[in-house]
Amino acid sequence: MNKSKLILVRHGQSEWNKQDKFTGWVDVPLSSEGKKEAKVAGEEIKKLDINFDYSFSSILKRSIQTYEEINKVCHINNELIQDWRLNERHYGNLQGLNKQEMRNLHGDEQVLLWRRSYDVKPPKINLESHNKLINQECFKKVNINPFPKNESLKDTVFRLKPFISNKLFPIIKSRKNIFISAHGNSIRAMLKYIENISDEDIIKIEIPTGKPMLLEFNDNKLESKKYI
């Protein structure tokens, strides 16, 4: 086999996606619709008949649950490696707030900047919410220093570089197949790095929930990319 196949899936709809809230690093589970999306994704992935050598997710439960629902269908059955670097972008003080209410308060343009720009950060998280975030169960076994108070997409790309360079690329180079369950912005960050997408063009890229993307690499070079 001279090709490596990489499947990227943004988690299915979460309970806060359903409520149109900024979620970020808050550990919110999938909604019932999100579990259905993951099951459908699993059925599409199963048709490809890929033998996965490695599986990764973030440490957030909506990402892990998406893997679990897909695994029920596909029987990936290798150890799931959880890595905090695959977490969603940290939305700072916006986390838990309704997106439309923020548009009404700050205007569409400002909210769009916070959501889709490359280097604009949302407002820093307040101290009380920051402490609650750090004390979530998912963060108790990882050492994140410094623990961010907000992130731009640029920051997300920066924290993903070690994962891509030290884990992902060596696996691709060894011609192995990889499954990754992650988040809209961590997937955008990976694509920006892998494809060298410009700061201007990355703004236009939207990643739908529960829709698998297949990337094929030949001799360690990206050969094709498509949704399945």
Residue from 11, 68, 69, 183 carrying the catalytic annotation: 11
Task: Find where tokens 């992650």 sit.
Answer: 182
Task: Find where tokens 């099951």 sit.
Answer: 39
Structure tokens at 134: 């750090």
Do the Cβ atoms of 210 and 32 come closer than 8 Å? no
Structure tokens at 21: 């809230």
Task: Find where tokens 């979620």 sit.
Answer: 23
Determine the Cα angle at 154 with ends 222 and 86, to 5°: 65
Residue from 37, 68, 88, 151 carrying the catalytic annotation: 88
Question: How many helices and strands, by DSSP H and E, does the chain display?
Answer: 10, 6
- DSSP three-state, residue 221: strand
Neighbours of 32 (CB within 10 A): 11
**For this structure, is 11 an active site residue?**
yes
Query: Which residues have CB under 8 Å from 51's CB, separation 6+?
Result: 177
Do the Cβ atoms of 195 and 221 come closer than 8 Å? no
**For this structure, is 75 an active site residue?**
no
- Residues known to be catalytic: 11, 88
